[in-house]
Amino acid sequence: MTDMIRQVDRPPVHRGYVVMTYPRSGGTWFAQLLGSTGVLGRPEDWFNGQGYRDRGIADYPLDRAGQRAMMLSRGMTENGVFGVKLSPQRLDDLWPDRWAEDFPERRFIHLVRRDRLARALSDVKAQQTRQFRASSTARGEPRYSAAMIRDMILAQAVNEARVQQYFALHDIAPLEIAYEDLLADAPAVLAKVAAFLGVSGSVQPDAGKVDLTIQRDATNAEWRTRFLAEQQTLDQMPALVTGRWERLIDRLGGLANRRGETGWARVARRP
C-alpha cells in the first residue's frame, strides 16, 4: 500500500477524467474494461473507502488525502491517464472536499442505462439481497414490491436530473455512454473514450482482467412482467411522489411550518 501511495510523486499531469454514473448501470464493469486496456486509466470508486474495506482490503485509506493518492497511483495507467468513478451520492459525500482540482480539463463521461425499469428492478433486488456483484454472497431474499420499484424509479429520475443540472451549471459537455451500447460493442465504445481523452493507437480490452458477470436472472424477468401488468392506463401521468417520498416531504413541510418558514414548494400529488 505504501509503495502505491508513493507513486503519486511522479510528475504532475492533467489527463484525468470522471465517470459520472448511477447504481446498477454497469459502472464497475465499465471501469474494469477501461482499466484492462492499460491506457485509459482505472476509474474506480476511489473515494469509497469503506466499500474497499468491506471487500477485504483492510488497509484501504478512509481519509480523503489517502484516497486521492490511490486515485493518482492505482487509478493511473503508465501514459499518465487517470480516472475516478462518481455518482450523485458520492459527490454529496465529498463536499466540501476540493476533489475537482485534480480535473482542471473537466472531462466527464456520463454512463447511463437506457432501460430505467431494468435498472430499478436490479437496484431493488440488490438492496434486498445485499448482493451487489454476482461473485458476492446474497444476505437476504428478494421480495417483489411494486411500491419499492416505483420509488426506485423516482429516486433514479431525481438523481439523473441532479446530474444534468450539475453539468449545466458548470458548462460540462460529457461524453454520453449507454450501458446497452457497452453490451453490444464494448471495443467500439472504448475507442470513443480513447478519442475523447486524446489517447492514440489501438485500444482493446483484456478479457483476462475483467471478472464481472451479469446478475440478471429469472427473478428480474418475472418482476418486470408482473410490474408492467399492474400499471395503470397510459391516460394518467404518475404522481411526482409516492410512498416514503411523500411521507418524507410531509415531515419536512411540517418542520418548515414549525420554524415559521414560508414559501414551501407545493408537491404534485395524485388527485
> What is the DSSP-derived secondary structure letter of residue 129?
H
| Interval 169-184: pLDDT, tens | 999 999 999 999 999 9
> Strands across the sheet with 16-20, in order?
82-86, 16-20, 108-112, 175-178
**Residue owning grid cell 411500491:** 147
- Average pLDDT of the segment spanning 151-169: 95
Decide if 84 contacts 91 (C-beta within 8 A): no
Reported pTM: 0.83
- For residue 113, pLDDT over 60 is answered with yes
- For residue 2, pLDDT over 50 is answered with no
What is 216-250 written as a DSSP string? --HHHHHHHHHHHHH---TTSPPPS--HHHHHHHH
Who's near 150: CB < 8 A, 6+ residues apart?
238, 242, 243
Instruction: Give the Å distances, CA to CA, from 115 to 68, 82, 112, 179, 180.
Output: 33, 29, 9, 9, 8
| Interval 199-241: pLDDT, tens | 999 899 999 999 887 888 999 999 999 999 998 788 888 776 6
Name all domains of the chain by residue range, CATH numbers in brackets.
Answer: 13-230 (3.40.50.300), 236-271 (no CATH)
pLDDT at 79: 94
| Interval 56-77: pLDDT, tens | 999 999 999 999 999 999 999 9
- For residue 138, pLDDT over 90 is answered with no
d(CA 128, CA 150): 15
